Amino acid sequence: MKLWRRTSESRPLPPPLPAEALPWLLAAALFTVAPHFLYQPGWLTALAGLVFAWRGWLVWKRLPLPPRWLLTLLVTAGVAAIALEYRTLFGRDAGVGLLVLFQGLKLMELKARRDGVVALMLGYFLLLTHYFHSQSIATGLWMFLALLTVTAALLRLHGDGPARPAASLRRAGLLLLQAVPFMLVFYLLFPRISAPLWGLPRDAHAGLTGLSDTMAPGSLSELIQNGAIAFRVEFAGPVPPRQALYWRGPVLVRYDGSRWHPRPADDLRPPSIEARGPEIAYTLTLEPHNQRWLLPLDSPRAGPPESVLTQDRQLLAKQKVIARGRYAFRSVLDYRHNGVEQPDVLARSLELPPRRNPRSLALAARWRAEDPRPERLVQKALAFFRQEPFYYTLRPPYLGREAMDEFLFDTRRGFCEHYASAFVVLMRAAGVPARVVTGYQGGEVNPVDGYLTVRQSDAHAWAEVWLAGEGWRRVDPTAAISPARVESGIAAALPDAEGLPLMLRMDVDWLVQWRNRWEAVNNAWNQWVLGYNPERQRQLLSRLGLPDTDWRTLAAALAGSTGLLLLALLLWSLGRRPRLAPEVRLWQRFCRRAARGRPALLIQPWEGPMAYAARLAQAAPPLTELAAEAAGLYAALRYGPPLPPSQRRQLQQGLAACIRRLPSRRLS
Amino acid sequence: MPLPALRRRLRQALGRWLFRLTPDRGETTLHRRRIFILPTRSGLLYAAALVVMLLGAINYDLALGHALTFLLAGMGMAAMVHTFRNLEGLQLASGAVLPVFAGESARLPLQLRHGRQDDRRAIDVLVAGEIRAQGDVAGGNSTTLSVPFPAPRRGRHPLPRLTLACVYPLGLFRAWAYYQPAQTHLVYPCPLNSPLPPARATAGSSEQPGEGGQEDFSGLRPRQPADPLRHIAWKAAARDAGDRPLPVKQFSGGSAQELWLAWADLPPRIGWEDGLSHLTGWVLAAEQQGLHYGLDLPGITIAPAHGPAHQQRCLEALALYPGAPGAPQPEDERP
């Protein structure tokens, strides 16, 4: 028991900080700040670590807090350093940096309980900022761990101080457990709004990987090293053969001698696509890549409503893809595209940088002189790649100014972008309209959940040529050099020495199995937890019998179910009665039954068993013996010397028998 | 009317209307209806933080951000129930408050008890808005707190209204209930030290040494309950080996001198309360010096005697002397 007094004149002092809460506050701050150490600049981590160590030492040695001027100095220096580091104070990352700084330094001025509360609220807020970087299952688990610590610290600030640490953690766990039903209801029913509400700072989506909108030798091979998942596909029917899985991304038309660029503006004239086979329906869950293209299976005929199909068959979202999204597509594998093409498109598809790659131009001119039919020219180029000693490698030698000449005639080592690029240059030089298409090729079916997984390492580049009457035809020169790339995937196409990331090599069986399981769990997490968007919410609610919900219905459902949950919690917590010993329960039941219909005969709180039995005997003489027996049994169990369990049970059974022997009707 | 005074008035009016308090007799249980609950400043901060977090989660489309915000909102609601429950069903009983002198703190022994299984924690007891005591009650158990409260004026006063409040577990909500024990407590006037007035001989008893004096030992008699302990003849009692009642030493001589503590002996033109304070100081001094003293006030006379019971009687008379709350005020009392 604590007791303190104050004179009535003084202003009430704020409640002090319980000393037992200090280590908990430190731990809570550490838990909420620690994941940021992975993402923020090293000096900030070092500063925060230093502050934590310093504060821990002060607590350990029971030293006073540092003076205020020193803290002011540290805050000023820290803010200035963050402003220098991020060039702003208002971006997302700079804001998080500031919060980390404040959290560390707030620990240095914990005096009243209020300071502790502010630090913990900041901690709750910091937990949210972890998800800018990662929303994986591990991050979710960490959230629970950190929440437990922060909540236990809050408990210790408000009266749980003297309790054992395990008890505080248990109580925090109970609170969290009771909060889970509320979370589920809110998660399902809270009206979801499509983001964003306001303009995001420029650094909001930094660090998303994916295809780039230009291509130079080497740009894809960097992406190949990345085992991250680009998208997952769920086919309505069987999965098409691997050789047909070309996922179409940006189309690159302009070549400046070293780099391929897209058209300066999207060509929105509708393409003419004639289907020559059945349509394939599938759903694609695309990881955010901060670009607009949607990577459908080649070739889509139309996109979902929130996208446009350009003249060169790029499927573009209206906005950059900054969140994981699910898209329902239909594609045809066999098609004819623009048998009659716009002249400006054809003209663009023949342009070459002037005075570059003379040897390539000469080779193409020679082929054209031999046989000018485009069909034959394509065959010649492919045969050239096949017959000359070309190698497929992730580590091609550096190419200089005459890049294509050097590649075609000197180095002859390259990756898919080299082959696609060289092929298009040769075709254009020979007078066949051609362009580069990038995207992904292949993918692998996860046997655990049946999704086809396409990774960044499946990034690919190929070519398209336009043949009069037939339209645009896909030509993949890489397949000419390394058929395995298209048939079995990148891991099979490259020699072992090429050092692909461990996870991409397919030869470790158990590793592959575990990866498949882990990715299936992750996919479920992505689909059902992270991918819960307005559309999924609508779907779920209509499955629950609430079709066409607007926010009013949702708000009503939300309020109703929250109220019910609160009521349930209230009833549960208020209705918990003390657990009584069995003999007390039996004796109370006996007394209640004996006094049935006569409230005056109810046992009074102060009445002992013998006194009650005597009163009962006086008021209802037929009960005399029974009352005396029951009272005797109860007294022996309750107040007598300790008995062995078997004997206790016997006496309890005797007491229960007394209840049964009570007359069932009121005695008159 | 100045603003703070207006606010105080409003608050009192609200208190009367909303909390319609009747004194609680005997053991009182804090039922659901008696418990109020509102968010604290921390609770409002928490709510504001949740709103900002929700906006952030929506804007950056953070699924886990939504989950975290909703989990915290749920925890806030669970905490509300826990805070409410921390007071609910608490049984209160107040003990006797011993008399104190004006200006001291009186202490109310307050027993908190409850029959539920779980612990009730960090319950504050407030008097006039200030925390006076704090305690935990273990499940199925009881705790007795000593609640000090100021006793500024003499007289018999009703006990102050107590507020039982708690912010446990998270400090986001504050639940409170009022408890008004139906008891009174006695406050003696604040004693002032001044030299005792001269003793005077009582008419008719001056010639022969009276019984019950203070100076010379004159014999033993069986003890009566009112006899002070220091007059017990312990050595004689030890010789008796406890067979007979405890013997008490009797004194005689000098007792012809009876001390009358009279209003008339006070300095002239003294105020009522100061006068009572002087008399209180005299009573204490006379009792301590072992004198035989009586009290002579306008309207009240207490015959000379001695002993704790007598002292208590005198002090009570002084405490309740007209002028105290509940009694008509003398005309010449200072404002």
Residue B330: pLDDT over 50: no
Cα A537 from Cα A191, distance rounded (Å): 8
Query: What is the per-residue pLDDT across A627-637, written as a single tens digit (0 to 9) for each?
Result: 999 999 999 98
Within the 72-101 window of chain B, which residues sit less than 8 Å (CB to CB) from chain A? 72-75, 77-79, 81-82, 84-85, 88-89
Domain that holds residue A459: 219-504
**Based on the domain organization, do A374 and A225 belong to the same domain?**
yes
Q: Which residues of B touch A182 (CB under 8 A)?
A: 70-71, 73-75, 77-78
Residue A180 pLDDT level (bands cut at 50, 70, 90): very high
Q: CB distance from A529 to chain B under 8 Å? A: yes
Collect all residues with Cβ–Cβ distance below 8 Å to A396 and sequence separation of at least 6.
Answer: A217, A218, A221, A407, A411, A413, A414, A415, A418
A204 in any annotated domain: no
- Per the listing, tokens 């350990």 go with A60
Residue A198 pLDDT level (bands cut at 50, 70, 90): low
Percent of the residues in chain B that have a pLDDT greater than 70, as a whole number: 82
- For B188, phi and psi rounded to 5 degrees? -75, 160
Residue B32: pLDDT over 50: yes
What are B288's two structure tokens?
Answer: 């301590």
Quote the number of domains for chain A: 3
Give the domain-ending residue among A504, A532, A551.
A504
State residue A496's pLDDT score. 52
The domains of chain B are located at 22-187, 200-215+253-319
Residue A501: pLDDT over 60: no
Find out whether B137 and B123 touch, Cβ atoms under 8 Å: yes
Which DSSP state fits A291?
S
Nearest-CA residue of chain A relative to B139?
Answer: A578
State residue B42's pLDDT score. 92
Find out whether A271 and A309 touch, Cβ atoms under 8 Å: yes
Within the 115-154 window of chain B, which residues sit less than 8 Å (CB to CB) from chain A? 115-118, 121-122, 128-136, 139-140, 143, 145-146, 148, 150
A272 in any annotated domain: yes
- Per the listing, tokens 């008509």 go with B328
Query: What is the per-residue pLDDT across B259-297, written as a single tens digit (0 to 9) for each?
Result: 888 888 888 778 888 888 989 999 998 888 888 889 888
Nearest-CA residue of chain A relative to B135?
Answer: A1
Residue B2: pLDDT over 70: no
Q: Which of A96-100, A301-305, A463-467, B63-67 has the lowest mean pLDDT?
A: A301-305
What are A470's two structure tokens?
Answer: 């037939």
ipTM here: 0.74
Q: Which residues of A touch B74 (CB under 8 A)?
A: 178-183, 186
Residue B228: pLDDT over 80: no
| A206 C-beta neighbours (distance < 10 Å), count | 12
Cα A380 from Cα A480, distance rounded (Å): 11
Question: Judging by beta carbons within 10 Å of its beta carbon (0-12, 13-18, 19+), is residue B199 exposed, middle or buried?
Answer: middle
State residue B333's pLDDT score. 38
Residue A189 pLDDT level (bands cut at 50, 70, 90): confident
State residue A243's pLDDT score. 85
Residue A284: pLDDT over 60: yes
- For A260, phi and psi rounded to 5 degrees? -100, 140
Greater model confidence, B206 or B253: B253
Question: Which site among B33, B64, B141, B145 would you substitute to test the A interface, given the most A Cβ atoms closer than 10 Å to its Cβ?
Answer: B64
Cα A421 from Cα A410, distance rounded (Å): 16
Q: In sequence order, what DSSP letters do the residues of A398-411 get, joined into one string?
A: P--SSHHHIIIIII
A305 in any annotated domain: yes
Cα A251 from Cα A259, distance rounded (Å): 13
A236 in any annotated domain: yes
Query: What is the per-residue pLDDT across A460-477, written as a single tens digit (0 to 9) for each?
Result: 889 999 988 888 999 998
Sign of CA dihedral A435, A438, A439, A443: positive
Residue B324 pLDDT level (bands cut at 50, 70, 90): low
What are B179's two structure tokens?
Answer: 């408890």
Residue A460: active-site member: yes
Residue A410: pLDDT over 50: yes
What are B111's two structure tokens?
Answer: 């027993």
Alpha-carbon distance values, A593 to A619, A656, B27 (Å) = 14, 12, 27
- Per the listing, tokens 């990715």 go with A519
Give B302's strand partners. Answer: B295
Residue A658: active-site member: no
Alpha-carbon distance values, A443 to A3, A80, A484 (Å) = 70, 48, 14
DSSP-derived pairing of the beta strands B120-127 and B91-94 = unpaired
Collect all residues with Cβ–Cβ distance below 8 Å to A403 and sequence separation of at least 6.
Answer: A217, A257, A258, A357
Find out whether B246 and B222 touch, Cβ atoms under 8 Å: yes
HEC string for A5-41: CCCCCCCCCCCECCHHHHHHHHHHHHHHHHHHHHCCC
What are A5's two structure tokens?
Answer: 């007094």
Query: What is the per-residue pLDDT across B84-140, written as a single tens digit (0 to 9) for each?
Result: 989 988 888 888 899 999 998 999 999 988 877 778 888 999 998 888 888 888 877
State residue B315's pLDDT score. 92
Amino acid at B218: S
Give B106's strand partners. Answer: B149
Residue A8: pLDDT over 70: no
Percent of the residues in chain A that have a pLDDT greater than 70, as a whole number: 89
Give the pLDDT mean for A319-324: 80
Half-sphere exposure of A634 (CA within 13 A, CB side): 27
Q: Which of A175-179, A284-288, A640-644, B220-224 has the lowest mean pLDDT?
A: B220-224
Q: Which residues of B touch A532 (CB under 8 A)?
A: 63
Residue A89 pLDDT level (bands cut at 50, 70, 90): confident
**Based on the domain organization, do A497 and A588 belong to the same domain?**
no
Which DSSP state fits A529?
I
Cα A566 from Cα A551, distance rounded (Å): 22
Residue A2: pLDDT over 60: no
Give the pLDDT mean for B196-221: 56
Find out whether B266 and B228 touch, Cβ atoms under 8 Å: no
Residue A498 pLDDT level (bands cut at 50, 70, 90): low
**Based on the domain organization, do A598 and A480 belong to the same domain?**
no
Cα A616 from Cα A614, distance rounded (Å): 5
**Based on the domain organization, do A294 and A432 belong to the same domain?**
yes
Nearest to A151 by CA among A126, A131, A129, A170: A170
Amino acid at B165: A
Collect all residues with Cβ–Cβ distance below 8 Å to A137 and sequence separation of at least 6.
Answer: A521, A522, A525
Query: Which string of b and e fits B17-34 if b means at least 16 CB within 10 Å?
Result: eeeeeeebeeebebeeeb
- For B216, phi and psi rounded to 5 degrees? -110, 140
Sign of CA dihedral B147, B150, B153, B154: positive
Q: CB distance from A318 to chain B under 8 Å? A: no
State residue B329's pLDDT score. 44
**Based on the domain organization, do A285 and A138 belong to the same domain?**
no
What are A516's two structure tokens?
Answer: 């498949």
Cα A119 from Cα A530, distance rounded (Å): 29
- For B115, which of A131, A323, A578 is closest by C-beta distance? A578
Greater model confidence, A430 or B246: A430
Alpha-carbon distance values, A441 to A30, A298, A327, A416, B29 (Å) = 44, 10, 19, 11, 75
Residue A201: pLDDT over 60: no
Give the pLDDT mean for B179-201: 84
* DSSP helix/strand/coil, A197: coil
Give the pLDDT mean for A292-316: 85
Residue A28: pLDDT over 50: yes
- For A69, phi and psi rounded to 5 degrees? -65, -35
The Cα angle at residue B270 between residues B269 and B274, in degrees rounded to 5: 170
Which one of B62-76, B134-148, B218-232 scores highest in mean pLDDT? B62-76
Alpha-carbon distance values, A531 to A194, A234, A534 (Å) = 12, 15, 9
Q: Which residues of A touch B167 (CB under 8 A)?
A: 158-159
Residue A132 pLDDT level (bands cut at 50, 70, 90): confident
Residue B226 pLDDT level (bands cut at 50, 70, 90): low
Give the pLDDT mean for B11-31: 73
Give the pLDDT mean for B219-228: 71
Cα B202 from Cα A647, distance rounded (Å): 78
Q: CB distance from A171 to chain B under 8 Å? A: yes
Cα A349 from Cα B295, distance rounded (Å): 124
A205 in any annotated domain: no
Give the domain-ending residue among A472, A504, A536.
A504
The H-or-E segment that residue B123 falls in is strand B120-127
Give the pLDDT mean for A48-64: 86
The H-or-E segment that residue A625 falls in is helix A624-639
Cα A596 from Cα A665, distance rounded (Å): 8
